[in-house]
Structure 1
Amino acid sequence: MDTSSSNKPLGGRVAVVGTGSRAAMFVRGIVARPSSQVVAFCEPNSIRAAYYNELLQSLGAPSVPVYQPTQFDSMLKKEAVDMVVITCMDALHDQYIVPALEAGVRVLTEKPMTTDADKCRKILETVNRTGQHITVTFNYRYNPVHELVKRTIADGKIGKVISVHFEWLLDTVHGADYFRRWHRQKENSGGLMVHKAGHHFDLVNWWIDAQPEVVAGFGKLAFYGDEAGKQHGWAKDYVRARGSEEAKKDPFAIDLEADPTLKRLYVFASGIGIEDDMSVMVRYNTGATLTYHLTAYSPWEGYRVMFNGSIGRLELEVVESQFRLLSDMEGMDGLIHGNRALPHAGDVKVTLHNLWQKPENIPVKIDHAGHGGGDKRMLNVLFGPLPGEAAETGDASKQGANERDGALALAVGVLANESFKTGKFMDIKSLNLPL
């Protein structure tokens, strides 16, 4: 597959598909750049669409037409769309990526690119047929700490990478949220292996410049859900949190009055179709191996990554929250490398251990903006710098993620999900992806 793509910044006349919380970052970034404008929303929820038109107006931009998903093709033509930004439910991405590519419209999609092998295959076949390419927004690549890791490995500081261990912890605020919303059904999100761990699988692919070949793993719903909740005692015996005195003593209860959908959801309810504890092994085409573990019910949030090389070892530790308080339960987002306004924010450390030498703590530039500064830097690369700003020239800007990267990150999650079911080692060749 030819993965070359235009160096021309994205932008022009932009339509946004899906108006969840993630879309706001793109809308603000597009409006702030004179060369781009939002010209349409594709969104079935009229309340969400109205909110985003209000956002446009607050940014000094005019409101725009709102189209239904069935009107997507006509929207592209009627609004003379140059580019689509896709931020809808993960499982629906392919329904917009494919016709946009066929129409010659540039495509930017949130990660994951899609949720299963069949949809991924359809997207890649369309790329090959049309010669168009996709930008997948793996914003973690643009985090300066992650770029430091990339550069340290690429410079040969630990020699040839032999193995990687990646442990990721979601706490009981951020992690619990994925068991309330649409993510809790694998057909919507691909589970946390696809929706969240895809971030990390892409990072490892990128960090060590390798392609996954074989995947195996174990996954279970060990903490959330009706059965597990009753076993460990966190589940409370009331129908719903609304108006309940018992709910006031439940650290997992949230105020659901404003949202009729959320009124039906609770992290210890039945019907959760994803795992909350996952262990995965991956072998790469370079001979390197990865062991990965995701815990979605931890007292603290962050991740540790260890790279073992032929002449040394590199360690990354990121603590996004050292602990959580009951008063934090209304804020479900991760702290993303710490928020200095909070007393329990964590820190970042990168340590280089070479054989027969003292360990070296590598100076780290910590950014407390969204995703460790990755969001802002990604917008700079994708849409061009803001007036008066310099263009971003870091490692991620030189190696932005395209459809091949999206497919390889997805493949690890898809194969892990299959291994959870079958207990077998899964080969990437079994997916028949036209990479």
Structure 2
Amino acid sequence: MVKRYAMIGLGGRSSFYYTALARDFKATSLIVGLCDTNQTRMNVANDQLAHDFDKMIAETKPDEVIITTIDRTHDIYIIRALELGCNVKTEKPMTIDEVRCKAIIDAVERTGKKVRVTFNYRYAPHNTKVFELLGKGVIGQVNSVHFEWALNTSHGADYFRRWDRDKRNSGGLLVHKSTHHFDLINFWLRSHPVSVMAQGGLMFYGRENAEKRGVTEFYTRAHGSEVAKKDPFALHLEEHEQLRKLYLEAEHEDAYYRDQSVFGDGVSIEDTMGVLVKYASGAILTYSLTAYTPWEGFHAIFNGTKGRLELDVVEKSYVNSGGEQEAEGASEVCTINLRPLFEKPREIEVERGLGGQGGGDPVLLNDLFGENVGEAWFGRAADHIDGAKSILTGICANKSLRTEGVVWVKDVLDSKY
């Protein structure tokens, strides 16, 4: 059976889906509609292979809608697609706050349609291996997890150049980016968050921080700026063909500037964050996210009643949509070490994942659009409840940043876990 897909939002992440559908999944999938508020990006999408969403659905009659718009609008299109009789596949995060999250949950229950959240990191071989090992009880009951994620001065800085820098659009990195990480913890522990406490702030990026370090020359955006030519953080759109086509040549329509200065005004998201989470399983998580480190990757350490499991991953540096999609988040180094109590430690052999997000992207695409989906017992497909569980940690962390106190998940959203 061939499924019919419509797509809303044709920015950088969208090509991950529409090129895969057109190139690799023609036997199972048909793109029947594309929608974006910017005609230039519409033209780019059409070259590589409506402004009215309801009209697109009515005319194309898709089975499913793929949503890759900016985060604050996900709920609008998810809910309307469900109401129009379509299932939904949406980019993470599912949405950015508890009000929108509750509205999506209610819409799923009201319509009986389905929402799938595309958590590609679940599908990376090393992350699936950790899920498998913990499920087999190799370290017994997991009591504590330490998870440190480092974003470097290329990828990390990129969140401060574009629309993400405004917390009203993205919920900040604790929602936009950390949804990946909090979902992995939920997935690995087979549990969900109960309480959250957080500290953090904007400590490196932004004009005020630059001024404190003695910077005296500033610019608003890189294109056309002489000052930007001396700034290693500047993004020069004209040097990247895809970014030039998607953004520089499209900005006359909507005045969206993809190359804003990371040390300019208007940055309202945090770049340095620490979070403490208690889970229903009894485990505790200490989590750290820094967006300006010299390298990219993460450490995940699990302490259990029978030992310790350590996952270390170094990822390739990249700028979102600045090059080959397959290189984005690809792992360069990956090791898993098991340290049982009273036994010698040993390294666990793990398949090297090829493709973006540690090898998770191609496996996710096959799971989304392929004919023969195996290993269903891993439970990697994430629904709207999984989407809610992941963002609730970040939503509660944002509230804790404001109140400097412990936030109980049940007080933010009376969830149906």
TM-score, with length taken from structure 1: 0.86
Match of 2:139 in 1: 158
Q: Distance in 2 between matches of 1:370 and 1:206?
A: 20
- Give how far 1:336 is off: 2.1
User: RMSD over aligned Cα, in angstroms?
Assistant: 2.3
- Give how far 1:433 is off: 3.8
1:51 aligns with 2:44: yes
Match of 2:213 in 1: 232
1:36 is aligned, of 29, 39, 56, to 29
2:235 is aligned, of 254, 260, 263, to 254
Say if 2:236 and 2:259, in contact at 8 Å, map to a contact too. Answer: no
Say if 1:147 and 1:394, in contact at 8 Å, map to a contact too. Answer: no
Match of 1:306 in 2: 301
Say if 1:89 and 1:189, in contact at 8 Å, map to a contact too. Answer: yes
Match of 2:312 in 1: 317
Say if 1:223 and 1:229, in contact at 8 Å, map to a contact too. Answer: yes
Match of 1:200 in 2: 181
Q: Distance in 2 between matches of 1:242 and 1:72?
A: 33
Match of 1:406 in 2: 387
Q: Distance in 2 between matches of 1:73 and 1:238?
A: 40
Match of 1:372 in 2: 358
Match of 1:341 in 2: none
Alpha-carbon displacement from aligned partner over 1:329-385 (angstroms, at most 9, x marks no partner)? x779975244xxxxxxx4111000000111110012112311122111111112124
After the TM superposition, which residues 329-348 of structure 1 pair with which residues of structure 2 at under 5 Å, given as runs?
Answer: 336-338=329-331, 346-348=332-334
Say if 1:226 and 1:235, in contact at 8 Å, map to a contact too. Answer: no
Residue 213 of structure 1 aligns to a residue whose secondary structure is strand
Evaluate the alpha carbon distance shift between residue 332 and residue 254 of structure 1 in structure 2; reply closer, same or farther with a 3 A threshold.
farther
- Give how far 1:424 is off: 1.1
- Give how far 1:103 is off: 2.1
Residue 399 of structure 2 aligns to a residue whose secondary structure is helix
Match of 2:78 in 1: 97
Say if 2:160 and 2:261, in contact at 8 Å, map to a contact too. Answer: yes
Residue 408 of structure 1 aligns to a residue whose secondary structure is helix
Match of 2:64 in 1: 83
Evaluate the alpha carbon distance shift between residue 54 and residue 331 of structure 1 in structure 2; reply closer, same or farther with a 3 A threshold.
closer
Match of 1:416 in 2: 397
- Give how far 1:30 is off: 1.9
Q: Distance in 1 between matches of 2:33 and 2:187?
A: 34
Residue 382 of structure 2 aligns to a residue whose secondary structure is coil
- Give how far 1:253 is off: 2.0
2:342 is aligned, of 353, 356, 360, to 356
Match of 2:241 in 1: none
Evaluate the alpha carbon distance shift between residue 337 and residue 13 of structure 1 in structure 2; reply closer, same or farther with a 3 A threshold.
closer
**Aligned partner of 1:173: which letter?**
S
Say if 2:88 and 2:116, in contact at 8 Å, map to a contact too. Answer: yes
Match of 1:391 in 2: 373
Residue 358 of structure 2 aligns to a residue whose secondary structure is coil
**Aligned partner of 1:83: which letter?**
E
Evaluate the alpha carbon distance shift between residue 285 and residue 421 of structure 1 in structure 2; reply closer, same or farther with a 3 A threshold.
same
Say if 2:222 and 2:260, in contact at 8 Å, map to a contact too. Answer: no
Q: Percent identity?
A: 44
Alpha-carbon displacement from aligned partner over 1:377-397 (angstroms, at most 9, x marks no partner)? 111112124xxxx5332654x
- Give how far 1:55 is off: 0.9
Q: Distance in 2 between matches of 1:244 and 1:90?
A: 29
**Aligned partner of 1:48: which letter?**
R
**Aligned partner of 1:100: which letter?**
A
1:23 aligns with 2:9: no
1:287 is aligned, of 278, 282, 287, to 282
Q: Distance in 1 between matches of 2:84 and 2:218?
A: 53
Q: Distance in 2 between matches of 1:103 and 1:263?
A: 33
Say if 1:170 and 1:298, in contact at 8 Å, map to a contact too. Answer: yes
Evaluate the alpha carbon distance shift between residue 239 and residue 370 of structure 1 in structure 2; reply closer, same or farther with a 3 A threshold.
closer
Match of 1:168 in 2: 149
**Aligned partner of 2:44: which letter?**
Y
- Give how far 1:237 is off: 4.1
- Give how far 1:13 is off: 1.2
Q: Distance in 2 between matches of 1:368 and 1:236?
A: 42
2:261 is aligned, of 266, 282, 289, to 266
After the TM superposition, which residues 114-153 of structure 1 pair with which residues of structure 2 at under 5 Å, given as runs?
Answer: 114-153=95-134
Q: Distance in 2 between matches of 1:186 and 1:35?
A: 38
Evaluate the alpha carbon distance shift between residue 244 and residue 135 of structure 1 in structure 2; reply closer, same or farther with a 3 A threshold.
closer
Say if 1:377 and 1:392, in contact at 8 Å, map to a contact too. Answer: no
After the TM superposition, which residues 57-68 of structure 1 pair with which residues of structure 2 at under 5 Å, given as runs?
Answer: 67-68=50-51
Q: Hey, which bits of structure 1, 4+ residues long, moved more than 3 A?
A: 233-248, 330-335
Structure 1, unaligned stretches of length 5 or more?
A: 1-8, 57-66, 339-345
Q: Distance in 2 between matches of 1:27 and 1:401?
A: 20
Q: Distance in 2 between matches of 1:157 and 1:15?
A: 44
TM-score, with length taken from structure 2: 0.90
**Aligned partner of 1:375: which letter?**
D
- Give how far 1:143 is off: 0.6
Q: Distance in 2 between matches of 1:43 and 1:376?
A: 25
Evaluate the alpha carbon distance shift between residue 49 and residue 263 of structure 1 in structure 2; reply closer, same or farther with a 3 A threshold.
closer
Say if 1:173 and 1:332, in contact at 8 Å, map to a contact too. Answer: no
**Aligned partner of 1:355: which letter?**
L
Q: Distance in 1 between matches of 2:100 and 2:61?
A: 27
- Give how far 1:219 is off: 1.6
Alpha-carbon displacement from aligned partner over 1:187-245 (angstroms, at most 9, x marks no partner)? 11111011110001000001011110100101210000001112224674456545555
Number of aligned residues: 398
